Amino acid sequence: MIVLDYLKSRTVISDIGGRDRLKGLYDHSDVDWLSRLDSSKDMETLWGYWNSRITASVDTMSNILTLRVRAYRPDDAVALSQQLIARSEELINRISRRSREDALRRASDEVVKSMRELAEIRSQILAFQQQTNSIDPLETAKQLTALVSSLTIQKIEIESRLTASERAGTRDRPGEQYMRTQIGVINRQIDELNAKLTGKDSPTSISTQLKDYEVLKLRQEFLEQIYTLARSSFEEARRQLDKQQLYLVVVVPPMLPDYPLYPRPLVDAGLIMLGCLVLWSIGALLVAAVRDSANY
């Protein structure tokens, strides 16, 4: 349907050469003065003449377009048909390429957008690490948990030795005061580590940092996936840019006519005679009717 509208438009006249092209086809001495184009007329007149010399129709079931071109020389008809086919194919290719270029531009914009968002979230993660002095709060939490576990084991060992001394009746031996002091130090260390791990409403606690860090990491992973998809779409659009997706296939190419279809002397003469006979009959009936009315 696009090609059909194009063939009947004023644009196609400009594409095939405009006024000069129509003058060479339809305004020369081989054309009788009744059928000849007056190339000096305005463009609207030329357009109307053009539509009287080409006919195009589309079979909606098969999407096959049939084009008929009328000219006063066989070579002109064939050359004009071939030119119209070439211009129609250029139109289809231009539409197809524009569609692919639009797809490539949209894909490129998505890549730039996703890359910018990914760079922004990575900058936020870097700022978070600099602010908290921690590369990965999760690893820091694991290390602190390991330290708490190690200190707890040391505490249990010291408490076990003290309990064994009490049961053996050897309390207040030299060194027990040191072990009790050591237990107190270990308890303070454990409390400090637990405060760093799970301090409530403390912006410096590992749990708070871990929550913020996990949100940032989740956004980073999501944006990385978006960026990967955008890159894939861009590469696919780039590969499709040079591939032709729409084709104008010529089923029956233009051929040089063996004989002219027009004019048809016998048919046209018969039609003229028939028309004159009809006019004469109407006139005769009118005259007869007038005479009858005059007699009365």
> If DSSP states are collapsed to H, E and C, what string results for the chain?
CHHHHHHCCHHHHHHCCHHHHHHHHHCCCCCCCCCCCCCCCCHHHHHHHHHHHEEEEEECCCCEEEEEECCCCHHHHHHHHHHHHHHHHHHHHHHHHHHHHHHHHHHHHHHHHHHHHHHHHHHHHHHHHHHHCCCCHHHHHHHHHHHHHHHHHHHHHHHHHHHHHHHCCCCCCCCHHHHHHHHHHHHHHHHHHHHHHHCCCCCCCHHHHHHHHHHHHHHHHHHHHHHHHHHHHHHHHHHHHCCCCCCCCCCCCCCCCCCCCCCCHHHHHHHHHHHHHHHHHHHHHHHHHHHHHHHC
pLDDT at 147 (0 to 100): 78
d(CA 204, CA 189): 17
Cis amide bond preceding 174, omega within 30: no
Q: Please tell me the predicted confidence (pLDDT) of residue 276.
A: 94
CA dist 244 and 255 (Å) reads 27
Contact criterion met (CB below 8 Å) for 81 and 63? no
**What's the confidence (pLDDT) of residue 61?**
86
Q: Are 7 and 88 a contacting pair, CB within 8 Å?
A: yes
Cβ neighbours of residue 175 closer than 8 Å, sequence gap 6 or more: none
Angle at 213 between CA 207 and CA 214, to 5 degrees: 90
Please say whether the beta carbons of 206 and 196 come within 8 A. yes
Q: What's the pLDDT at 143?
A: 72
Tens digit of pLDDT at every position of the chain (296 positions)? 889 999 999 999 999 988 888 888 888 888 888 888 888 888 899 999 999 889 999 988 888 899 999 988 889 899 999 999 999 988 888 888 888 888 888 888 888 998 898 888 888 878 877 777 766 666 776 777 777 788 788 778 777 777 777 666 565 566 667 777 777 787 787 777 776 666 665 555 666 667 777 788 888 889 889 888 988 888 887 777 766 567 778 888 888 887 777 777 788 788 899 999 999 999 989 888 888 776 65
Q: What is the pLDDT of residue 280?
A: 93
- Which residues 6+ apart lie within 8 Å of 67 measured at CB? 7, 54, 55, 56, 81, 84, 85
Strand partners of residue 57: 66
Contact (CB, 8 A) for 28 and 52: no
Q: Take residue 161 and report the two structure tokens written for it.
A: 């030795």
CA distance 233 to 110: 9
pLDDT at 208: 66
- Cα–Cα distance for residue pair 179/162, rounded to 1 Å: 8
Residue type, 260: P
